[in-house]
Amino acid sequence: MANLTFSEKQLIESIFGMSSGYLLDFSNREFEEFMKDVVQYNIYTKYPGLSKAKMFREFLKDETEPYVGKSIVMLLNHMKDNGMITEDIKDKADRLYEFGTKLLGKNQAQSKSKQQNPVPENKLDIDFDSLNATLLAIESISSPQAKGYAFEKYLNSLFKAFNLDPHASYRTEYDQIDGSFVLEGNTVLIEAKYRTNAIPKDDLILFSRKIETKSHFPKGLFITYSPVDSKAIDFFTDRSARIIVLTVEELFIMCENKYSLPELLKAKFRTLDEKGIIYRHIMTIM
């Protein structure tokens, strides 16, 4: 359980506008979808009949510090993405973001300590040679189905090595998701393709629509063995896309040069946010 002080609770209430019973600009459906990206259960099922603000208060009272921190960081990211952090609340929002990241980095077993930061990336024991060897070994698998499965398994171990909290592939009632991970408090859904033909525009459109049906908040990472057709990249330019493309060749270059995977992904998402471009090669942004 997160033991929040009175002033911490007041700061949360103030920034997220909870005094009226609402929470930011969420509709009921949007808030339900948002919270599914934070925790695995349905908050409306756990706290029936309550307003959004009251549900969130109960959540803050019942949940562990990492999940409370995750919710705070994701809410602030939503505010930032939608231009809701005005000059008059910026200092308070920055203070709350720092508090949220502190909670997010705490180990549940050590929650009594004042601060437990996540393992700094430069302290992670990344075996880049092993990652590259495993990646190259996938090419020798003859069965396309087995090759695709091995690729998904490799990606899960890759994200785990960089402490990105990966989830394995799963199927919903309507579609298949090849996994997910968390980057700076934001959920990123994965589409993985291990085939030789160039990726056509339609594959990217289909993945983009998968992202759009989940909620307003996740982004997408399309990982491919083969290159993406240049016309497909042009199609998504300046179209408010929420997906980026990463190739297996780039993963190999990343491991060869011992680049940081989180830094590579952040550079790609920054290119998307600043220029509206879903793909820039690793050697042009690192």
The whole-number average pLDDT for the span 17-39 is: 88
pLDDT tens figures, 223-273: 999 888 888 899 999 888 999 999 999 999 999 989 999 999 999 999 999
pLDDT of residue 117: 44
pLDDT of residue 77: 87
pLDDT of residue 173: 77
pLDDT of residue 10: 93
Least confident residue range of 97-106, 192-201, 205-214, 271-280: 97-106
- ∠ CA(131), CA(134), CA(140), 5° rounding? 155
pLDDT tens figures, 171-194: 877 788 899 999 988 899 999 998
Please report, rounded to a whole number, the percentage of residues in the chain having pLDDT higher than 70: 93
pLDDT of residue 168: 87
Q: Nearest-CA neighbor of 222 among 238, 256, 254, 198? A: 198
The whole-number average pLDDT for the span 23-49 is: 87
pLDDT surpasses 80 at 158: yes
Structure tokens at 121: 């990336």
pLDDT of residue 115: 34
Q: Give the β-pairing of 180-183 and 176-177.
A: unpaired
Q: Across-strand partners of 245?
A: 222
Q: Across-strand partners of 187?
A: 182
42: number of Cβ within 10 Å? 12
103/97 Cα distance (integer angstroms): 10
Distance (Å) of CA 194 to CA 123, 165, 168, 222, 283:
31, 23, 17, 11, 22
pLDDT surpasses 70 at 285: yes
pLDDT surpasses 60 at 21: yes
> Would you say the pTM of this structure is higher than 0.85?
no
Contacts of 111 (CB under 8 A, 6+ apart): 2, 64, 65
pLDDT tens figures, 85-144: 999 999 999 999 889 888 876 433 343 333 334 445 556 889 999 999 999 999 888 888
